[in-house]
Structure formats: structure tokens, C-alpha cells
Amino acid sequence: MVMEFTNKTMPCLLFYCFICFSILFPLANAEVHYHDFIVRAKSVKRLCKTREIITVNGQFPGPTLQVRNGDSLVIRVVNHAKYNVTLHWHGVRQMRNGWADGPAYVTQCPIQQGGIYTYRFTIEDQEGTLWWHAHVSWLRATVYGALIILPRENYPYPKPHREFPVILGEWWNKNPLDVIRQALKTGAAPNVSDAFTINGQPGDLYRCSSKETTTFLVTAGETVLLRFINAAMENELFVAIADHDMTVVGADASYTKPFTTSIILLGPGQTTDVLIQTNQPPGRYYIAAHAYHSAPPSVTFDNTTTTAILDYIHNPKSATSPKLASLPVFNDTAAAAAFTAGIKSPAPVQIPSPVDNHLFVTVGLGLFDCPRNKRCGGPNGTRFAASMNNFSFVLPSRTSLLQASELGGPAATGVFTADFPASPPMHFDYTGNVSRSLWQPIRATKLYPIKFGSVVEMVLQGTNIFAAEEHPMHIHGYEFYVLATGKGNFDARRDSRRFNLVDPPRRNTIGVPQKGWAVIRFTADNPGVWLMHCHIDSHLTWGLATAFLVSNGVGESESTLPPPPDLPTC
């Protein structure tokens, strides 16, 4: 094959070579994986009804990507859908390469209808389970898939005989984008989902779903690795397997100290790797999941249960009904806390110190007054809102935050301010009865500036404005150590004694307990603009987000890469 070089192709070729040498080949023997992702509509039938959904390559869930630690991906996305789209590679560090991160209007403008954009990035020092999903409005309700990162050498636990991705999701009989549009129009909460799913299927307990129930075939006497991913939009989920204990060995693409449990809990965005032993009598066993509902009982939620089947090959009882799994009650906060406390790093870690930036950030819901001469569907005629430190985040519309930061110029003027507060404007009883004067946040696009190489410690404090619930908080471009979680208002003098400074877990998404707090710590070693937000998508839509503006360090190796030539425009 002969390639012709022209003046027109040379700039793109030079850029590609730059990417190849600076990103794609950091390790000897690393591979580059090329994929075409065609975003398009497809008709599918669920719960007795057929409707059109947005998919990648006509698959729901989308393609599973499997790479090895150190490999690179080049993913060409062609948008044939009727909506603008971006893709986010959830949990991937994207070192110096925010252009490949994907959140719309944060690191890029969306890929327009008919447009093409190629994501190029490398997996660096991560092993385990991550995932990818759309990051525009509620497209991720059906646009998602697994990202499996195999170890460079061997698993640090017994090598499984077989392994499966198990992706938990939600299903609406209506177009999910219409669901959130209606909620934004009225100011009310979005309608709850009609079903939960496992690998795109609701399972035996729903109408018109039994024949398509997801089934995992195993053989007696095996070690099986199940890679759980919570791709649900609105709910944390409890998971259990009938008659089978699970040994947790990884979370968010970090290995964990193994521990055995009968249930696991995943917030939206989180992943958990578990080993099971197929040591039960050959038969059929349900894998079941339902909501962990941490909000008050008055708040409606999807209280259904999704199932898949663990089916032993050569099972003489193949015609029998699967054995039922035992799940905690919906509001079992004790079970949730016990599971979370069990996740630790497998060995002592070197925790970043000393701390340069101490942040205290409130997270939670709020309410906006209804505009005059309008009727709103929120509590007492209000509109739902959400905020961090009393600021409800507003995304730009004519450029992205990273473009405004890196490229500057007249188009960047007024896009954001770098003055997100390091503590709440007013201190109050965060988990008690909050004064109504504090219920209404301020709309703004405020980023928190961080010097490259600084150590950041952040207290994430849940609030009791309207309805307190657990908030799964995700930071793009970073992993962090979870030093502690607890209930009530954080008190530094009392609660700092509880910090795990030996083997805290490393995560990219952490549940801030209902009426409680979490403390995380990380080193700001990745320059760029990185979104931090609640992974309950209605909360993100209402403004429960901010972004870190991490400065460049010294030299090219500590600076954001130049933007690719095919970066979409708004």
C-alpha cells in the first residue's frame, strides 16, 4: 500500500504523528485499537412496546471495548442521529488530553448531526472495569458500553475461568430526552423509569421480557469474574446473586483488598469487579438488582427489580424456575454503609501530602422560585435546582470551557469565572432544618483554579434542602483517595481522627451519604478543565456540578496538549 502526501494532508499527518509519539506509544509492546462508532437510531422492543432509541453500531448496550493497560484507542465517531452527541470515557485519566474526555461544552462542543470526531487516548496505569457513555442531555440512557482494561501481566487474584460485563441500566417507555425536557419545562422531577435492565434486558419479572432475559452460562467448579457497571441515570442499585457470595476484587479500575459479601451497592457511574465460585448444585440462579432509595419515602422512585440468570451448563434442572436472590430493603442505609466501608486498597498507599488546597463543598438540591405568570411543577409551585456551595452550574453554549481556557480570544470572554468558593458563602446546619432563605442557589459558571502539582483535600458535605439523599460524585480526569465518610455535619476536629491514612480506596466516583459527608484527596497532576458533578443525571441537569481549572506545570510534559484539528465547533 502506498500513501500519497499532499499539502492538504500534511498538517493532519503531523498532528497524528505528534499524537502517536506523545500519547499512543508510552509503553513497549502497547497496542493501538481502532474502532468506528456509528451513532444512529434503532427500533427495539421492551416491555411489550417498540420505540426508537439511539445506539452505537445498532447495539444496546453498545460495543464492549477490551484493551490492556498501556494500550491506546482511536475511536472515530460518526453521528447519524438526530441529536448532537459526545462520548465520555468514564474514569479514564486522559493525561494532558482533555480534548478526548467528552462532556459537552466542558471539553468540547458536541458532534453535530452528520459530523465526525475521532477520540484518541491512552490507558495509563489503570486495570479493571471502566465504561463509556454519551455526555449530552439524557442520551446516555441508551448510549453506553463497557471498557475492560486487562492487566499488563497477571491478575492479582486467581485467574477466572470466564468473565462477563454486567451493565445495569434504566428503561423508559418514552424517549428519555422527552422525559427530561418535560421536567425542565415544568420544573418538576422527571418521571421515574419503567424498568431496570441488565445488559439491556429487564428480565423475568417484567411483562414481555422473559424470553430475552440476559443469561450467563457457567460450569460447575469455576471461578467467574463479573464486571458490574451501574449505567443507570437516576438510581443507586443493590445487587445480589441467589445462593452465591461475591468476593470484591476491584472498583473503578483499581484493585481492592478482597472481601466477601452477599450484596454489592453501585452508584451511577461506579464499577465493581467480583469473583464468584460456581460451587452450588447445577441449576439456575437469579442475579437481581433494585434501587437503593436514600431519599425520603415521599419521593417516588422505580421500585421494580431487574433480573438476569446464572445458568449452569449441563444443568439437569434447566426447565425449572431460577432461585430467587435476597436483596436489602430499598432504604437499608446500614447495608449501604457496611458495603462501602469494606472497599479498601489492597496494600498501604502513599497518600498525597501535605495538603495545599482545603475545600469544603456542600452538595444537594435546592428550589428556584417560579417565574411570574407561569405555573411550575416543583414543591409548592417552585422549580427544582441543585448546587455546590450554593452555585448552580450553568454550561456555556457557544464554546467549551477547555477551549475558552486554552485558546482564549474574544470568543472566550465571559464564558466562565475562576472564583468558585473554597467553602460555602454561609455556614449553617447542613443536615438539619435548613432555613428557606438558603434554598435558592445562584446560577453561574464558576470554576475552581488549582496550581499544577497541588494536593487537594475536599470535604463533600450533603445538605438537607428539600430532600436529602446520597449523591454519587464523579471527577473527570482524576482518581482520588476516599479518606472517610460519615453521617451528620463534618467536624474537622472530631472526624479527622477517622481518616484512613493507610489503605483508603481509590475511586473516580464516591457516594456522599444521605445527610452525611465524604472526604477525598488527590494531586492535581493533570492540567486542563475537569468537570466534577453528581452522576444522578437530573441533579447534573439542575446544576449539581462545578469544574476544576488546573494550570499547566513546567514544560510540555506538564501542559495540556494542543487541540486536535477535527475538534467540533458549536
Query: Binning pLDDT at 50, 70 and 90, where does residue 466 land?
Result: confident
pLDDT band at 28, cuts 50/70/90? low
Amino acid identity of residue 531, one-letter, is: L
> Which CATH code of 3.30.1380.10, 3.20.20.70, 1.20.1560.10, 2.60.40.420 fits the domain covering 157-343?
2.60.40.420
Pairing between strand 284-292 and 447-450? unpaired
Tell me the sheet residues that pair with 367.
Answer: 384
For residue 154, the Cα-to-chain-centroid distance in whole angstroms is 27
The residues that bridge with 37 in the sheet, in sequence order, are: 77
Kind plus residue range of the DSSP H or E element containing 101:
none
d(CA 81, CA 102): 17
In this prediction, residue 21 has a pLDDT band, given cuts at 50, 70 and 90, of: very low
Q: Which CATH superfamily is domain 357-558 in?
A: Cupredoxins -  blue copper proteins (2.60.40.420)
For the cut 70, the answer to whether the pLDDT of residue 27 exceeds it is no
Residue 3: pLDDT band (50, 70, 90) is: very low
CB 535 within 8 A of CB 484: no
Q: Where are the domains of the chain?
A: 27-155, 157-343, 357-558
Instruction: Please tell me if the domain spanning 27-155 has the same topology as the one spanning 157-343.
Output: yes
pLDDT beyond 70 at 38: yes
> Would you say residue 14 has pLDDT above 60?
no
Topology (CATH) of 27-155:
Immunoglobulin-like (2.60.40)
Q: What is the pLDDT of residues 261-308, one digit of tens each?
A: 999 999 999 999 999 999 999 999 999 999 999 999 889 999 999 999
Q: E strand or H helix at 524, and its extent?
A: none
Q: What is the pLDDT of residues 468-508, one digit of tens each?
A: 999 999 999 999 999 999 999 999 999 999 999 999 999 99
pLDDT digits (tens, 9 = 90+) for 143-170: 999 999 999 989 999 999 999 999 999 9
Amino acid at 316: P
DSSP state of 88: E
pLDDT digits (tens, 9 = 90+) for 44-64: 999 999 999 999 999 999 999
- Return the percentage of the chain with pLDDT > 90, whole number: 89
Edge-to-edge order in the sheet of strand 545-550: 447-450, 545-550, 528-534, 471-475, 509-512
Residue 317's pLDDT band (boundaries 50, 70, 90)?
low
What average pLDDT does this structure show over 336-343? 96
Q: Say what the pTM is.
A: 0.94
Q: Retrieve residue 25's grid coordinates.
A: 506509544
The predicted structure's pLDDT at residue 437: 84
Please tell me the least confidently modeled range out of 86-90, 219-223, 266-270, 314-318. 314-318
CA distance 504 to 348: 8
Torsional class of 199: left (φ above 0), alpha (ψ -120 to 50), beta (otherwise): left
Q: Tell me: the pLDDT tens digits for 61-104?
A: 999 999 999 999 999 999 999 999 999 999 999 999 999 999 99
